[in-house]
Each structure stands twice: as structure tokens, then as C-alpha cells.
Amino acid sequence: MPTFAYKAIDRAGNSANGTLDAADRKGALRSLSAQGLRPTFIELKQDAASASQAGMDSAQDAFGHDEAAAKKKRFKLFGSAKSRSSVALSFLENLLMLIQSGLPMGDALRLLYNRVGDEDQKELASALWKRISEGRTLSGSMQDFPLYFKESQIQLVAAGEASGRLGVVLERVVEYMRESAEARRKFTAGIAYPMFIVSMALVIVVFFLLFLLPIVRKLLQAMGGDMQFFAKVLIGGGQALVYGGPWIIAAVLIAVAMISNWRKTQLGRAKTDAWMLRLPIFSGIYQHQHILQTSILLSTLMESGINTPEALRLVERTVSNTVLRGAYSAIRRMIQEGISLSGAIRKVRIMPDIDVDILSVGENTGTISGSLKRIYEIHRAALNKSMSVLMVVLTSGALFVAFAIVAMIALSIVMSVLDISHTLSTH
């Protein structure tokens, strides 16, 4: 009889893991349920002989395709220039649509493979179907593709599987991914215009320095005139860029490399993560983004029946910033000591006071999940506002720089012409 390895949560919210024998995955799930355990991970455990045989088996993959061809296609998938986040979003949108139509997971993945036209999504469907057919969960299968699925998304899917609310949870995941993709699109579109303006201004400067300025200089020398102030400033700036530019670029690259290597150390990672939380303007956007992710994750996990300490432990695993991760670890310890969630968050100060007050009301009224959703909505609006302000600042700065450069060129030409006219009139 096959042996399954599992991880589960008992009625008290404690984690449990082990192995059990069952005829199939459904039988293993029924056995765990009879023991009062809610599984978060279950996988067929193969012995060494069967694993070796599977490795030697060069027949065909789950969909009847040659393994060598599958590897080539998989290499193309992971080397694709297409945005991995957009591939994951499209894939989960299609999968959600099929699951909401009533299809089992395996049938939904098989239908995706047969119907979807995008090769990347076909590869994901094939790989996930193969793992699920071996007895693994969807969340456990998604963990093999960290470049496509974030840890927070995987934890939410695991919670949905454990609670039997996978469709609802997937809908939350897809909604959040859509909002993140829209925010990235707006930022990219917003930053493109300032960059275009500055680039055009630099092109104008180069054209002036290489073509117009030599002509003006020859005329002035022939007439006995002198270069005007703004022309001298442009010449000096151009020469500084020509001679000093490579050194500045080299210094920046060296500094980036040094900081990158330092960040790989424990001290460097802690220091740079702390800097991220104190950067002017960007720290506010970073905070909004972080609270958006953790509030929706906490809300969904708690709605799925996972207790607060366990939900915080899962959230802690999804946080990349070491300072914030330590804060969530401290919050979890305080809750286990009997302090309320709002009280613990107020002590470590990872949320604004207004958020803590909303959370406290939710705890008192028994609607903590609703309070977390309210916090999510508040910070979503605040993030959109902050992004709009940042775009205005960048656009205004770019226009100012472009206007200043063009104005200096115009003034240098006009004043040079006036100087030539004055020279001619005096002679």
C-alpha cells in the first residue's frame, strides 16, 4: 500500500507531520480528517527503488510527450523574456475559471494544457498536472516554481486546500495579482514620460555641443567676440560628462557591486533592509505595499480557519525584509504569551496607529478578518495616491530639467547673436 508524507494542523492549531499508509490520496485525506487533522501538505512517499526506476524511465511525461523534448521546452520556459508574473497571472486566471465551473483540479490542468495557446502556460499545466497525479497538492507543486509563484501565493493556496475553500482563495490571489500588475503598469507608464523628456533634452544638448556651438564659436572668434556665460556653462557641463562620465559610471557600478556583496552578509542584509524602511518618499510606498500583502494574507488565512499564531508564522515566511520578519516573529511570541494581536502590533509599530485601532475594534467585535480587509482598502487607496504623487514629482522634475537645458541653449544662442550684432555696430 502506498505511503504518504503529510503536514497538518490539529484542532488546537498545532502543527503535526508524519506518514500514513492509504490506498490513494483521497483515502489519506479521509484518514487524516478522521484523526481531527487538517492537512496543509500531503505527498506520495516513494522508496529508493521506485525513485531510481522513475529516474531511469525514459518513456514519456504525463501528457505523452518525450522527456527530452519536454526538457527543451522547459528550458525555453525558464529562459523566456516574457514576464513571469504575467504568465503566472494568466495561468491562475484560466485555472480559476475552470475550477469555478466545477472541474476537478486534475481535469482543469489537463484541459488547460489542451486548450491554452501560450506555450509557457502549457508547460506549467503539464508540470503541475504531473506532480498532482503523483499525490502532491497544488500548493506543494507550486513550490517547485518559485520564479513564477511567490511564497505568499503558495501559502494562500495551501490554506484554501486545507479549508476546502480553494476556489475562494484562488479568487483572492488572482485579484491581488491583478492589482499588483496594474500598479506596475501605471508606474512603468508614468516613468516612461519623464525619461523620454530627459532623453530628448540630452539629445538637444549633444546636438548643440557638436553642431551649433562650433559654428557660433567660429563666428565670435571671427568678429572678435567672446563666449557668453550660458554657453560656457554648457561647454563645461559637456566636457565634464565626456571626461568624467566614464569615471562616474565606473564608481557607481563598483559601489553597487560592493553593496550587493555586503547585502549577502547577515549584517549587510539587516542594515539595507532597515534603510528600505527609512528612505524618503519610497519608504511610504514600501510600507503601503507591505501592509497590503500581509493584511490580505492574514485575512484569508484566518478566514480559512487557521489560528492567529500559525497564520502569523505563515506570513512571516513570506516577508523578505529581515527587520519586518523579526517584528512578525516577536508579534507571534507575544500572542502566545496572551497579548492581543492589536496590542502586539502596537508594541512593534509595524502599522500606523489608525490601523491598530481598526484592528482592535475588529478583535472586540469578533470581525478581525473584516478589519484586516478594511486596512487593505485603506492602504490600497493610499498606495495609489502615493504613486500618483511620485509620478507628478518625477514628471515635474523632468520637465524642469528639460526646460532649464533648452532655456540655457536658447539664451546662449541669443546672447551670442546680440554680442555679434553689437560688435558689428561698433565697427
Q: Are residues 87 and 222 in the same domain?
A: no
Residue 172 maps to a domain: no
Q: Is 269 exposed, middle or buried (0-12, 13-18, 19+ CB in 10 A)?
A: middle
**Residue listed under C-alpha cell 486566471:** 93
Tell me, yes or no, whether 133 and 219 share the same domain.
no
If asked whether residues 296 and 371 sit together in one domain, one would say: yes
269 and 188 assigned to the same domain = yes
Whether 213 and 231 share a structural domain: yes
Q: What is the pLDDT of residue 52?
A: 35
Same domain, 250 and 309: no
Residue 158 counted as domain residue:
no
CB-based contacts of 45, cutoff 8 Å, min separation 6: 2, 3, 4, 5, 19
Residue 425: per-residue pLDDT: 66
Distance CA(159)–CA(285), nearest Å, equals: 28
CA–CA separation, 113 and 91 (whole Å): 10
* Greatest distance between any 2 Cα atoms in the chain: 110
- Whole domain around residue 323: which residue ranges? 288-381
- CATH of residue 93: 1.20.81.30
Q: Are residues 415 and 374 in the same domain?
A: no
- The answer as to whether 282 is a domain residue is no
Determine, yes or no, domain membership for 166.
Answer: no
Residue 43 — φ and ψ, nearest 5°? Answer: -145, 140
- Are 311 and 262 contained in the same domain? no
Q: Which of 10, 28, 57 is the last residue of a domain?
A: 57
Asked if residue 160 is part of any domain, the answer here is no
Alpha-carbon Rg for the chain, nearest whole angstrom, is 30
Flag whether 329 is in a domain.
Answer: yes
Last residue of a domain, one of 94, 128, 149: 149
Q: Which of 348, 343, 346 is nearest to 328 (CA)?
A: 348
Query: Does 324 share its domain with 351?
Result: yes
Do 74 and 53 fall within a single domain?
Answer: no
Query: Is residue 15, in this structure, part of any structural domain at all?
Result: yes
Could you say which of 103, 130, 149 is where a domain stops?
A: 149
**pLDDT attached to residue 358:** 92
Task: Find how far residue 338's CA is from the centre of its chain.
Answer: 34
Same domain, 366 and 405: no
Task: Give pLDDT tens digits along the chain (427 positions).
Answer: 677 777 777 766 666 778 887 777 777 777 877 777 777 667 676 543 343 334 333 333 434 443 344 444 443 444 444 578 888 888 998 888 888 888 888 888 888 888 888 888 888 888 998 888 888 888 888 888 888 888 878 878 887 887 777 888 888 888 888 888 887 787 787 778 778 877 887 777 777 777 777 776 776 666 666 666 766 776 676 667 667 778 888 998 999 899 889 888 888 888 888 888 888 777 888 888 888 888 888 888 888 778 888 888 888 887 888 888 889 889 989 998 888 888 999 998 888 889 999 999 988 888 888 899 899 889 888 888 888 888 888 888 888 877 877 777 777 767 766 766 666 666 5
Domain contains 167: no
CA distances from 326 to 160, 262, 285, 329, 330 (A): 26, 20, 20, 5, 6
Are 30 and 114 contained in the same domain? no
The three cell numbers of residue 200 are 530628448
Helix spans in 208-281 (H): 213-223, 229-263, 266-276
Which CATH number do you get for residue 6?
3.10.20
Give me the number of domains the chain comprises: 4
Quote the pLDDT of residue 134.
82
